[in-house]
A and B are shown apart, each in its own frame.
Chain A
């Protein structure tokens, strides 16, 4: 299957995932495994349920039915916080905490969750900030950052927790064209270091570059998946052909 080794561990396992908002059936039974080290790009038309899929994984949305396992443990009401701490998420609209400085945004969770001491956390944060060239912004509030700066801080905020998996939901869709490059470069770097990743994006070139597997969702179902070379050049279903014709 898709050139994956059999000895690889499964990080996330989704079984029979369904989600409705009232009458609106958004996810209609998703089965999906994310293996250690994979970089899965999730594609699909607007409203097909991509965001809902990601958000059901870390339970920002409560699934209507179905199960999500993280490292072979069923995510439940009792362990969900522990699981979230290991599954980083980067949002389309950055969601930096407005009333906290950049430094506080980075250190709040690792310190509160006793992952690091204050000193360790701020040292790590300074290192990451330096790496993305934003050391000078440590004590600034998010309102004073550009979109691209906010998103890069949001990415290193997720990295502060040393997550096993990173979920990105359209990380560049809310950015002006000039800052998209910086953010994609940072994601590229994180992914190259071996981070297991799921990313929803409309940046097709980027998707093709980083994906080890592409998953296509339509009407809340995975209708096609495959290696990027195969997927983009020889799509199997007419729906994907049509989609790719439009976006490429």
Chain B
């Protein structure tokens, strides 16, 4: 049987399609919540690291250590640690463990991105706000955050894409994501050929990545309005 016939077989077998969609959904669920939680944690870390109060010093140290550890160890190992050490609790939902593993990882990278974004805003912008008597909170919300965000949209987009692709390693702890679905459908009991299911899984990943790149470009374009010299 050729490639094309295999393709037809895959798309005309309801169980296969079901498996693919299930796997895809899990991939999206893990990615979505991991990115969301990772962003919030990353923002908190970035705010601590760029904060000016003296009492932030010990927290800064903790954040530094955290980021260094996360960035210096393999994601797969972090996932194993979460599954087999920290959340080695019977009946604890696997998906929560996976989401947290990727969120904790993404937080470290996102915090670096956000920190860079905040530092990229010219000090004169903050000083203008201070000189007018605005509060630090207003200055951050109305002046620094929008400018920082505009500068980091492309990097944040990259981070989202990285997380989506990296979630494929949850198949290593037996979770049924898109990657695992492809392997399952291609196995001996099923299609007995990996080529087509893996090709289709690749298309799924590509489609999502493409969609996100597209959305990011749109957002970036909108945010660039204030740069217009017209």
A interface with B by C-beta (< 8 Å): 58, 60, 81-89, 91, 93, 95-100, 108-109, 112-113, 141-144, 157-158, 161
Pair B130/A141 contact, Cβ less than 8 Å: no
Question: In the complex the two chains form, what is the Cα distance from A234 to B140 in whole Å?
Answer: 50
- Residue pairs across A and B with Cβ atoms less than 8 A apart, 22 shown, are A58-B131, A82-B133, A85-B133, A87-B131, A91-B131, A95-B122, A95-B124, A95-B128, A97-B125, A98-B125, A99-B143, A99-B147, A99-B150, A100-B142, A108-B142, A109-B129, A109-B132, A141-B225, A141-B226, A143-B227, A143-B228, A161-B133
Pair B134/A91 contact, Cβ less than 8 Å: no
B interface with A by C-beta (< 8 Å): 122, 124-125, 127-135, 138, 142-143, 146-147, 150, 225-230
Pair B146/A99 contact, Cβ less than 8 Å: yes
Pair A113/B133 contact, Cβ less than 8 Å: yes
Question: In the complex the two chains form, what is the Cα distance from A88 to B128 in whole Å?
Answer: 10
Query: Are A93 and B124 CB-contacts (below 8 A) given A108-B142, A143-B226?
Result: yes
Query: Are A97 and B130 CB-contacts (below 8 A) given A81-B135, A143-B226?
Result: no
Closest to A154 in B: B128
Question: In the complex the two chains form, what is the Cα distance from A112 to B227 in whole Å?
Answer: 25
- Find chain A residues with CB under 8 A from B142 CB: 97, 100, 108, 112
Q: Separation in Å of the B128 CB from the closest CB of chain A?
A: 4
Query: Are A143 and B132 CB-contacts (below 8 A) given A95-B125, A99-B143?
Result: no
Pair A91/B229 contact, Cβ less than 8 Å: no
Pair B133/A99 contact, Cβ less than 8 Å: no
Pair A85/B132 contact, Cβ less than 8 Å: yes
- Find chain A residues with CB under 8 A from B129 CB: 97, 109
Most buried by B among A82, A88, A112: A112
Query: Are A144 and B230 CB-contacts (below 8 A) given A98-B147, A99-B143, A112-B138?
Result: yes
Pair A91/B124 contact, Cβ less than 8 Å: yes
Question: In the complex the two chains form, what is the Cα distance from A96 to B147 in whole Å?
Answer: 13
Q: A60-B131, A157-B132 are in contact. List 19 more A-B contacts (CB 8 A).
A: A81-B133, A84-B131, A84-B133, A85-B133, A86-B133, A96-B128, A97-B125, A98-B125, A100-B142, A109-B129, A113-B132, A141-B226, A141-B227, A142-B226, A143-B227, A143-B228, A143-B229, A144-B229, A161-B133
Question: In the complex the two chains form, what is the Cα distance from A99 to B147 in whole Å?
Answer: 7
Pair A89/B229 contact, Cβ less than 8 Å: no
Closest to A92 in B: B124
Pair A113/B134 contact, Cβ less than 8 Å: yes
- Top 9 A-B pairs ranked by shortest CB distance? A85-B133, A109-B132, A95-B128, A89-B131, A95-B124, A84-B133, A141-B226, A99-B146, A81-B133
Pair B127/A95 contact, Cβ less than 8 Å: yes
Closest to A160 in B: B132
Closest to A144 in B: B229
Most buried by A among B142, B226, B230: B226
Pair B143/A97 contact, Cβ less than 8 Å: yes
Pair A97/B128 contact, Cβ less than 8 Å: yes
Closest to A81 in B: B133
Q: Separation in Å of the A122 CB from the closest CB of chain B?
A: 16
Query: Are A99 and B226 CB-contacts (below 8 A) given A108-B142, A109-B132, A109-B133?
Result: yes
- Find chain B residues with CB under 8 A from A158 CB: 132
- Find chain A residues with CB under 8 A from B131 CB: 58, 60, 84, 87-89, 91
